[in-house]
Amino acid sequence: MNGSALIALEGIDGCGKTTQLPAIAEALRRRGADVVETREPTDGAWGRRIREMARSGELVAPEEELRWFVEDRREHVEQVIAPALSAGRVVVCDRYFLSSVAYQGARGLDWEAILTESEARFPLPDLALIFELSPTRALARVRERAGTPEPAFEREPFLERVAAIFAAIERPYVRRIDGGGPAEVVREAALAALPA
């Protein structure tokens, strides 16, 4: 791979994207890319606030929640993503703005408006891989991985709404990956979708 690129890994909690990120990054490095691995929410002040809320289950108003994610993303783009892209690096991000579209959309906000505003404000991904998996299976994975699901977001009815929005997003940069198979099969599908 020559030049900079922004690759976002998206999907509901437990879909497998975080598991696949290191393999995707390593495959890109073998192709000669200088890779930056990152995630949202970040470890910055806004990201920490979001994670604390998710663990506590004490939700704020959807509009305020979206504002926290947008502020976290704004800092992330300014401090990590934009500098890396300017330096010709490849950024692989575990969640990006499509997660706000789906999750805050599932909280009752206008997901199409969030998508339009995000595309106007932040760098577009060159590729967004959406890992698709049923909420039932995804939550089973969450329980296997970490014990108790985060009460703010990791609930089946909520994740069903999130998954429905992810399924409705149609953009040229989106590729869908079946997350239901063995990890190595999912990995091969993800690697096959990467730009040459």
What is the mean pLDDT of the segment spanning 53-61? 85
The order of strands in the sheet holding 5-10 is 35-39, 90-94, 5-10, 127-132, 174-178
pLDDT for 59 equals 83
Q: Is the pLDDT score of 146 beyond 70?
A: no
Indicate the fold that domain 5-193 takes in CATH. Rossmann fold (3.40.50)
pLDDT classification of 151: cutoffs 50, 70, 90:
low
The pTM (predicted TM-score) of the whole model is 0.92
Q: Is the pLDDT score of 113 beyond 60?
A: yes
The H or E element spanning position 84 is helix 82-86
